[in-house]
Amino acid sequence: MGNRGYRVNHKKVKRIMSKLGIHGITPRGKYNSYKGDQNGTCKNLLLSKSVGEERRETAYERDFSTTACNQKWTTDVSEFHIAAGKLYLSPILDIHNREIVAFNVSRSPNFAQTTDMLGKAFAKHGNLEGLILHSDQGWQYQMKFYRQELERRGIRQSMSRKGNCLDNSPMENFFGVMKNEMFYGHEYEFQSLDELEKAIVAYIEYYNNERIMEKTKGLPPVLYRQQSLSQLSC
C-alpha cells in the first residue's frame, strides 16, 4: 500500500479482513528429511541459553536478528504433492531481507538438489566469510561434502534441535506463505509436474521482486537488499 501512496496501519487491514471474512489457510503437514544422527549434526548457533538467578531455571531464546544481508541464511526442503506426483523445493533464505538467495526444484529430495542450490548461492555471492547457514537435522545437511563446502568458505553451520521446527521458523514461515498464496486450494489446477514447477519458479520471482511485507518496511526483498547496501555505502 505504501508503494502506491497509501498509508494504512496493518491493524486496520486486519480489521477489514475480519469484517469481510478473509483469512489465511491453515498450513498442512511438511516433508521430514530427518533420518537420525549420522554423526553430522552440530550446535544451534541461533539459540542462546540462560539460567535464572533465583530458581536456576534454564531458558532458551532464538536469535534471528541481523544488521545486514549475508549474516544469517536458512534452508530446508518442502514437498508439493499433486495428482501427477511430487515436487521438492530446496531454497536458501536470507533472514535479514527474507530474500530467496538460491533454490532448486526436483522430483526427488536427493543430494544433487542440495549441492545445486549451494552452487547457485555461492556463484551469486563471493565472500561469505562468517555467514551462519542454518538448517534442521536433515540427512543432506549432515553429509560430509556439504559440511566441507561450508567450512571451505568460512561459513558456520548451524542446526535446529531435533524435532523443533520453531528453531527454523523464518524458513517455515516462507513455506507457509508460499503454499497459502499459490498452492493450497489450487492443487487440482496443475495438470503436470512441469506446470507446477513453472508456477513455483514464477512465485519465487514474484516473492523476491514484488511481494511487500512488514518485516522489510513495505518493500520487496530484493529492493530492501539494494536499499540496505546503499545505506552501508553512504
* Rama region for 183: left / alpha / beta (φ>0; ψ in -120 to 50; rest): alpha
Residue pLDDT tens, the chain, 234 long: 555 556 667 676 667 766 665 655 555 556 776 666 777 899 999 998 777 667 667 778 999 999 999 999 999 999 999 999 999 999 999 999 999 999 999 999 999 999 999 999 999 998 999 999 999 999 999 999 999 999 999 999 999 999 899 999 999 999 999 999 999 999 999 999 999 999 999 999 999 999 999 999 999 999 999 998 877 653
pLDDT in tens, 137-185: 999 999 999 999 999 999 999 999 998 999 999 999 999 999 999 999 9
Q: Return d(Cα 206, Cα 208) in angstroms, integer.
A: 6
**Per-residue model confidence (pLDDT) at position 65:** 96
Dihedral of alpha carbons 157, 163, 169, 170, sign = positive
Q: Which residues contact 129 (CB under 8 A, 6 or more apart)?
A: 153, 154, 155
Q: Which residues contact 139 (CB under 8 A, 6 or more apart)?
A: 33, 34, 35, 38
**Per-residue model confidence (pLDDT) at position 112:** 98
Contact between residue 89 and residue 200 where contact means Cβ atoms under 8 Å apart: yes
Which amino acid is present at 226?
Q
- The structural domains of the chain, with segments of one domain joined by +, span 26-233
Three-state secondary-structure class, residue 147 = helix
pTM: 0.85
Residue with cell 562468517: 130
**Per-residue model confidence (pLDDT) at position 49:** 79
User: Does the domain made of 26-233 have the CATH classification 3.40.50.720?
Assistant: no
Contact between residue 117 and residue 103 where contact means Cβ atoms under 8 Å apart: yes
Q: Return d(Cα 67, Cα 106) in angstroms, integer.
A: 33
Q: Which residues contact 141 (CB under 8 A, 6 or more apart)?
A: 40, 75, 114, 135, 157, 159
